[in-house]
Chains A and B, each alone.
Chain A
């Protein structure tokens, strides 16, 4: 929507030909952001391919945000929320969950693997879990290869 083209990333393929995916993680500012901070405080490493985009609540996850992320060239997208039942906004994360499911259906209907999109429920103290999720998504998207929308440019 911002631009008609899908610009290539600088290090889309690194020097040894290994695919470095661009991954966007939507996090709520409550448990998910805290979990990311806990991972930091405990120095639990995870791949530097993941960028975090803050939302006030994962109930704010608009299907358009997810589709826009892929359209703008993300290879994978995931949403991190408070544990179910533990949402600061009571059930915003349940709404977010439903939208992620809807967006997955849309992706698959246009031929993009649904596995490129996922949602995780992480508590604020779970730094190691947050890091594990980032690793898991990175590895998963690495196996899938660049997003078809990314490839369409190349």
Chain B
């Protein structure tokens, strides 16, 4: 076996797993100027997310919005165009079908041994013509389609794959070696004798991003999966409903292909039971999404979700859930189904459960058993550790936890048990996409911190519309030249030329205006073809290029690069798609295809002729960061960036660092948060690169990425600072108002006050007989959302009370217990210790009555009169007694409790000054009042505004470890900017011609991102003061404003009106033919 040894590189990071997490980590590492090796065990990147057509709660796919790169089209299954074959980031090496089999050394200096299984098709030669798959006689169930369709032994996982190549899987099991594929391949890309290769890599850090495995429900025989045709898993349903699924999203049931009109989802299959005791965290929301998709696609469908708790614990999730329930009519039944039976005649499925519990709103206890028929049952399968967990644990020497996931510690959530090896995403615990992305950027930050001396050592460039290394010769200025166009028509080894008369099309092109050279090339994208084009541009002094070949999506970057290599601005190159959009869809009409090919070439020539060179603005980023907020998130971000070698200004408005961490005395997992606080504060104060501004606020914030300017209001006066990035970590706060007599009676306290009592006055707890806790208390008029941390906090306190005083009764009144992930064990432990749980509903909350008082309170505002202030009551000799009444729904009885203490879990609200700060920084807020990131799933730590990042509870309520992960993520994102020598601003962006602008603000209203502004220093039409200005650092290049501007004062570079309009109309083949004849 051949072993290739790459030289040991201290600036390289090994990333294992090519799903969304691995891709995110790779792009961050690469952008920070380090080398990323992205290792994936299957033949293509994308992981689980590649199989999902829709995300919750956004109901979109938009993997194309994974980064702020624009103009590349659909990047699926990649989250960034920098992983597409012909636009691959120069700092990323993708290694598919590869396993890590050994890893020696230590943090900063590992040697990893990789084994690469043969794919039998050389990706460098594969042109994706698909002839091999069409001729291959062997069929196997498609793994990508979850066995719902068949695929050939030699195939591609999906029409769009990264890397974009066919492969032969499991040759020994599938392939008969008939060699038909070898014979039919036009590029001799297939080698059935290819062998395994091993190689060694020197790397400084390792990031594990191997994701998870969906639970296989076959072992739960009571559900009949595998026996009953219409019992499917949620992953199969995802494929059914996906637009790229077997029926492009038309939902049909497997037994007879009919649209199912009654569908049930069974939650917690493989989660929250005796064998799998943790919560899988994602199933509640994905089932809600799946049911909503059914409602959208199948009018009149009945959807019922059988669930224990509805865990909608993230941003916008509660709104999404309520929307599904109340507006779309998705029904939720609080019940765990124990068995599915099948009617063999109809293949319908029969479920039995106690009726009367829909929406958990049953008024009079448990109803009688009902039996219902369903057309299809979806098992919401849980999250299991990834296949690779055991192997990686052995190879890397990392510990796994009791559930088989990667072991991490509370306050170092991205570190494994081996220094220098980091983890992100679902391998650490069940997680959704957004959290995985946060982890991935955070793990990248950990690697950057470890390898700080190498940051920026491999600079990459975005000077051009493709990613590169900026090592081109000078660019020719062709602006004054008459158009000299070269047209190259590619045959694509027959893929095009077998249908389209390609040489004839080239001959036609030769007669078009401005064309000085046209020719036919058998393979334009192969090295010979590229050389030929480069030479022709130079020899014939071409100043415009048209390549009529395949898709812009896959090859535009390649030909733009070729143009640039030959000295032409890449915006003077144009592609025409004669393959996917012509030859392949008109194979039955070769004359029509040739006619269309000619017209497309004519349009391409017309479009590129008036094109102008586009140059980006160079910017040297200011190498310091501004961090707003000195809590756990702000301090973590500041320290990480400072450790990376950059200066940090940390602005804290209060007189102490630490924020909410001051009020956390212990955590459910057992670690000591006060020690964390001390450590962080000491390190921040001692760090030479961190400047702390206490009792300070940001008064002004302007500029854009790499070049921000801020005015800090400090007690000593105003300070002006320049910074490359801004991190927002202003936190949240426990809300407070007069609910249930809070603040009016000493026995009614907040959960945080109870925690303080337990920590500082345990003797008082020891004397108590009964404590009632009420969950989900929010101030009057506050939006309804889950504060995510309260249930675990409450359980933490309940368990501590039971430890201190087992005789003290603890009753928890709740709506849904949200102990996601491994936190489920605290719920189990609390029940084991005898804590009583009483579910209440939104319409029937508990009531708190105070003796000798007219106060009878529920979750509605009390009159906050001054007549009974807190001090007056607490100074009374004996506080009056309180009674809590709560309706218990299973037994249908109202419980009357007389507790010594009532603890309220108040919602966590956004920081008090977030609205003001949002105005200062021009940032959006979510419906809950938290800061709104660029995309809930794909960019949870970014804003649309480049260079500003978001961490901690300013984003949404979250646990300490989640704050730390997000703070690390922002630090990682920040360091991708700070480590650059040169940034490039602009490109294909909208530009206002001020002299035409009337200042009507139409552009400002039309822009989906709110970017255009009126600038007083510009002069508009007729000499009027003020005209629109579009910041090239912020413009997303959609062109929406250009199309709406009534004065036509805005042009989108690369898409000027004259470029687009010259070829939009009727097909002008005859006209050009006549022109050509005239020319001859």
Contact = CB atoms under 8 A, between A and B. Distances in A.
The answer on A and B forming one complex is yes
Interface string B539-579: 00000000000011100000000000000000000000101
B contact residues, range: 35 or more
A22 B1044 contact: no
A141 interface: no
Among A47, A55, A60, max chain B CB count under 10 A is at A60
B159 A42 contact: yes
Interface in A39-96: 39-57, 59-65, 68-75, 83, 85-92, 95
A75 B988 CA distance: 31
A72 B1037 CA distance: 27
A36 interface: yes
A37 B583 CA distance: 11
A105 interface: no
A53 B1064 contact: yes
A140 B871 CA distance: 79
Interface stretch (B170-178, B318-326, B1065-1073): B1065-1073
Contact of A131 (B585, B1063, B1070): B585
Nearest to A146: B1066
A21 to B, nearest CB: 9
Among B130, B245, B584, max chain A CB count under 10 A is at B584
Contacts of B655: none
Contact of A41 (B159, B1008, B1043, B1063): B159
Nearest to A94: B1008
Among A22, A123, A128, max chain B CB count under 10 A is at A123
Contacts of A63: 1043
Interface residues of A, number: 73
Contact of B585 (A44, A57, A71, A92): A44
A30 B73 contact: yes
B1055 A56 contact: yes
Among A7, A74, A127, max chain B CB count under 10 A is at A7
B76 interface: yes
A43 to B, nearest CB: 5
Contact of B588 (A45, A62, A73, A86): A45
Interface in B223-269: 242-245, 248-249
A50 B1064 CA distance: 11
Contacts of B600: 51-52
A73 B1064 CA distance: 9
Contact of B65 (A8, A59, A88, A150): A88
Contacts of A71: 1065
Contacts of A57: 1038-1040
A33 B553 contact: yes
B1000 interface: no
B152 to A, nearest CB: 14
A7 B1055 CA distance: 25
Contact of A8 (B130, B1060, B1064, B1070): B1070
Interface string A15-41: 000000010101001110110111111
Nearest to A38: B159
Nearest to A52: B581
A48 to B, nearest CB: 3
Nearest to B597: A48
Contacts of B1060: 53, 55, 62, 65
A36 to B, nearest CB: 5
B205 interface: no
B1057 A62 contact: yes
Nearest to B579: A40
B552 A54 contact: yes
B74 A30 contact: yes
Contacts of B65: 88
A10 B1069 contact: yes
B62 A74 contact: no
Contacts of A39: 580-581, 584-585
B1038 A9 contact: no
B593 A34 contact: no
Interface string B141-167: 000000000000000000110000000
Nearest to B159: A41
Given A7-B1070, A29-B553, A125-B243, A88 B1065 contact: no
Given A33-B73, A47-B592, A62 B1043 contact: yes
Given A11-B595, A48-B596, A88-B62, A64 B581 contact: no
Contact of A68 (B61, B249, B1064): B1064
Contacts of B130: 41, 43
Given A29-B71, A55-B1039, A56-B1038, A9 B553 contact: no
A48 B592 contact: yes
Nearest to B1073: A10
A26 to B, nearest CB: 8
A106 to B, nearest CB: 15
Interface in B1026-1075: 1036-1040, 1042-1044, 1052, 1055, 1057, 1060-1071, 1073
A74 B61 CA distance: 33
A64 B592 contact: no
A128 B248 contact: yes
Given A64-B1057, A69-B1064, A56 B1037 contact: yes
Contact of A59 (B64, B248, B1008, B1057): B1008
Among A72, A85, A129, max chain B CB count under 10 A is at A72
Given A60-B1042, A92-B1008, A126-B248, A7 B1064 contact: no
A46 B159 contact: no
A147 to B, nearest CB: 8
Contacts of A2: 1061-1062
A108 to B, nearest CB: 19
B587 interface: yes
Contacts of B417: none
A110 interface: no
A9 B1068 CA distance: 6
Contacts of A125: 53, 159, 242-245, 248
Contacts of A90: 1008-1009
A6 to B, nearest CB: 7
Interface string B167-207: 00000000000000000000000000000000000000000
Contacts of A8: 1066, 1070
A59 B1039 contact: yes
A50 B1009 CA distance: 33
A9 B1070 contact: yes
A123 B65 CA distance: 15
A74 B1066 CA distance: 4
Interface in B833-869: none
Contact of B1044 (A83, A86, A91, A95): A95
A60 B1040 contact: yes
Contacts of A72: 1064-1066
A64 B1069 CA distance: 23
A51 B596 contact: yes
A116 interface: no
A29 B1037 CA distance: 12
A62 B585 contact: no
A10 B45 CA distance: 46
Given A30-B64, A55-B1060, A64-B1061, A46 B585 contact: yes
A33 B74 contact: yes
Nearest to A124: B74
A45 B586 contact: yes
A31 B59 contact: no
Given A37-B159, A56-B71, 10 more contacts: A8-B1070, A34-B73, A41-B130, A48-B593, A50-B596, A53-B1060, A57-B1038, A59-B1039, A65-B1060, A72-B1064
List the 4 shortest-distance A-B pairs measured between CB atoms, nearest first: A72-B1065, A125-B244, A73-B1066, A40-B580
22 contacts: A22-B1066, A24-B1065, A29-B71, A29-B72, A33-B74, A33-B552, A34-B74, A39-B580, A40-B581, A48-B582, A48-B585, A48-B592, A53-B603, A56-B988, A69-B1065, A73-B1066, A83-B243, A86-B61, A99-B1043, A99-B1044, A129-B248, A131-B585
